[in-house]
Amino acid sequence: MTVLITGGAGFIGSNFVYYMLEKYPSYKLLCLDALTYAGNLETLEEALKSPAFTFIKGDISDREAVYEIFESHKPDLVVNFAAESHVDRSISDPGIFLKTNITGTGVLLDACLKYGTARFHQVSTDEVYGDLPLDRPDLLFSETTAINTSSPYSAAKASGDLLALAYHRTYGLPITISRCSNNYGPYHFPEKLIPLMITNALKDKPLPVYGNGENVRDWLYVKDHCSAIDMIISKGIIGEIYNIGGHNEYKNIDVVKIILKTLNKPESLIKYVTDRAGHDLRYAIDPKKINKLGWQPTVSFETGIIKTIDWYVNNENWWGRILSGEYRRND
Ligand code: NAD
């Protein structure tokens, strides 16, 4: 079995590489990653020691390069994590989001068709559903909730999903899609809420919180996301979408306060800043469909956030080299 993991040098993709190496030692794993600012080869240092793992630097929207990889490695399964993933960056520079998240996904789908790949899995996000009101805790995103995107990031991800569905309907390409809530855990790039707050707190720098901090996110520990994708690949129905979440809703400000308390730092470090344009209020996943496949999260937010804070405390070398820019030296 040969698995092509795109975006495997990023946060979730790298966690998935380690999950797969451990769970399926006989598989051949290929990682295709463009090593954008969000990709970090140092994250894959241990994986690179394994003969089962091969890293290829390349862009998923580069048709020639992608076809060459399919021609020579003939992957049985493609799991597409590669994406531009930061909402704030999509607001200031949407173009690259269209190129990677839409065109890149299209190129991978074309390659799967051309080379008869057995399966394509699209890793997507609950952000394609837009947001939910703060005063209706009874409302959750299901797989049939209408697409209603807010940011260029989520619009581009939704477009990639629609392409995957269209390739299934039109050409019979065997695809599945997962839409997960916010992830947290090791190797999370320190521009996203949780790692930014932990690293700033560790350095006694101000913790910038958008608006009043009341926005709600539904958090999932990254290893639980990996096991959910694995479950969908092995037991999911072709052509179907699966939402992934674990009912861990927290206000951003409460997450920030938990981090400060755990690190024994004062709340005076919190600095409220001008809200993000179009900022989604609340995300919340209804995971019933994937639960029926037999998947359940194993890490509660209370445990996962402590594990994550510990990881950042013990791995300053990893995030310090990102903050200083040194991690890009060997690209
Ligand atoms: P990330 O930004 O940490 O990593 C993205 C990776 O993709 C990086 O290694 C980057 O170098 C690579 N990449 C970017 N453009 C590329 C291109 N054109 N060709 C090849 N590689 C390219 O992102 P992440 O947080 O790990 O997210 C991974 C996937 O999961 C994304 O598709 C994202 O939409 C989705 N997702 C993320 C979350 C979350 O909370 N982080 C939640 C749900 C879904």
Catalytic residue among 84, 126, 230, 249: 126
48-65: average pLDDT: 98
Instruction: Look at residue 155 and tell me if it is in a domain.
Output: yes
Query: Directed axis angle between helix 152-171 and helix 105-115, to 10°?
Result: 20
CB-defined site of ligand 1, < 6 Å: 6-7, 9-13, 32-36, 38-39, 59-61, 81-85, 100, 104, 123, 125, 157, 180, 182-183, 189
pLDDT at residue 273, rounded to an integer? 96
Instruction: Look at residue 208 and tell me if it is in a domain.
Output: no
Residue of 4, 17, 81 to test ligand 1 pocket, by largest number of atoms within 8 Å of CB: 81
Instruction: Look at residue 308 and tell me if it is in a domain.
Output: no
The residue range of the domain holding 181 is: 2-189+221-249+279-299
Instruction: Look at residue 260 and tell me if it is in a domain.
Output: no
User: Among this protein's residues, is 153 annotated catalytic?
Assistant: yes
User: Is the per-residue pLDDT at 331 higher than 70?
Assistant: no
**Eight-class DSSP state of 108:** H
CA-to-CA separations, 108 to 67, 100, 101, 283, in angstroms, rounded: 9, 11, 11, 29
Instruction: Look at residue 311 and tell me if it is in a domain.
Output: no
- Kindly report the CATH number assigned to the domain that includes residue 139: 3.40.50.720
User: Is the per-residue pLDDT at 330 higher than 90?
Assistant: no
CA 93 to chain centre: 19
pLDDT at residue 329, rounded to an integer? 74
Distance, in Å, from the CA atom of 12 to the CA atom of 196, rounded to the nearest integer, reads: 16
Distance, in Å, from the CA atom of 235 to the CA atom of 230, rounded to the nearest integer, reads: 8
pTM for this prediction: 0.98
Distance, in Å, from the CA atom of 262 to the CA atom of 143, rounded to the nearest integer, reads: 36
User: Is the per-residue pLDDT at 278 higher than 70?
Assistant: yes
User: Is the per-residue pLDDT at 66 higher than 90?
Assistant: yes
Catalytic residue among 33, 59, 84, 127: 127
Is the CB of residue 244 less than 8 Å from the CB of residue 183? no
**Eight-class DSSP state of 41:** G
Instruction: Look at residue 324 and tell me if it is in a domain.
Output: no
Is the CB of residue 33 less than 8 Å from the CB of residue 66? no
In tens, the pLDDT along 185-236 reads 999 999 999 999 999 999 999 999 999 999 999 999 999 999 999 999 999 9
Instruction: Look at residue 273 and tell me if it is in a domain.
Output: no
Query: Directed axis angle between helix 252-262 and helix 301-314, to 10°?
Result: 50
- Number of domains, the chain: 1
Instruction: Look at residue 266 and tell me if it is in a domain.
Output: no
Residue of 36, 196, 218 to test ligand 1 pocket, by largest number of atoms within 8 Å of CB: 36
State the sign of the Cα–Cα–Cα–Cα dihedral 35, 174, 86, 95.
positive
